[in-house]
Amino acid sequence: MTPMFGQDGQRVLTLITGIADLTAEEVDKVTDAWKHVCPSDRAKAWARLVRTTTEQERYQILAAASLARREALVTAHRLRRVDWAFWAAVSDAAAAVAAGTRIGRHYDTLTAPLAAVMPPLAACSGVAPVSAAGFTGDDPRTPAVSSEGA
């Protein structure tokens, strides 16, 4: 399964399977957090993401984002939440996790809203690997340390 979502496929799967466990309050928190991110920064992050990846990698990243978004839609419906900022936030985070260190500091921009309720997301895979059992960032508060992509 891993190749489908890139090298960090396991992290992506962990993220996706975690979406269904979110509560309504957590969904609201993610929604609010996403709206507080500067839209231009988010656009820059996505631009960097597509610039620093090959077509094949982009395909995997977009597949991850798309599946995560779908899962978020289902969860939002179940919790009677209809603000699209939530599934946009989940989609952003899944794309960033699939892209990993390649997008440098932009990783934080894309993951921050969801990381508000899934703290281990804040650690980029280049820093803290994730086990099959789940995210294993030792300290969830540790900011992502990553190099700027080319």
Partner 1 sequence: MKSWLTDLPEAFPDALVIVDSHGRIIQANARAASLFGFDERAMTGLLIQALFPDQLLALPSARSGLPDEAGQHLELVGSRSDSSRFPAVVAVMPVKIKRVTAAVISIRDLTDAQRAQFVLRRGVEILMSESRDRRALLRHLIRAREEERLRIAADIHDDAIQLISAANFRLQQLRLRLRDEAVRGILDKLQEALTLSSSHLRQLIFDLRPSGLVGGSLGPALRVYLDQMHSDTGITYRLDDRLSARAPDGTALLIYRNVLEVLANVRKHARASTVAVELLDIEDGYLIRIIDDGVGYDPADIEDRPGHLGLVLIRERAELAGGWCRIESSPGTGTTVEFWVPLGVSSTEPDAGHERAG
- Interface ranges with partner 1 (CB under 8 A): 1, 3-4, 39-40, 43-44, 46-51, 58-59, 62, 73-74, 77, 82-84, 87-88
Q: What distance in Å separates the CA atoms of residue 52 and residue 138, rounded to the nearest whole number?
A: 28
CB of 124 to partner 1, least distance (A): 20
Find tokens 């631009």 and name the residue. Answer: 47
Complex with partner 1: residue 11 or 42, whichever CB lies closer: 42
Is residue 33 within 8 Å of residue 116, measured between CB atoms?
A: yes
CB of 112 to partner 1, least distance (A): 17
Three-class SS of residue 74? helix
CB of 39 to partner 1, least distance (A): 8
CB of 63 to partner 1, least distance (A): 8
Q: What distance in Å separates the CA atoms of residue 55 and residue 37, rounded to the nearest whole number?
A: 27
Nearest alpha-carbon partner for 89 in 103, 75, 105, 104? 75
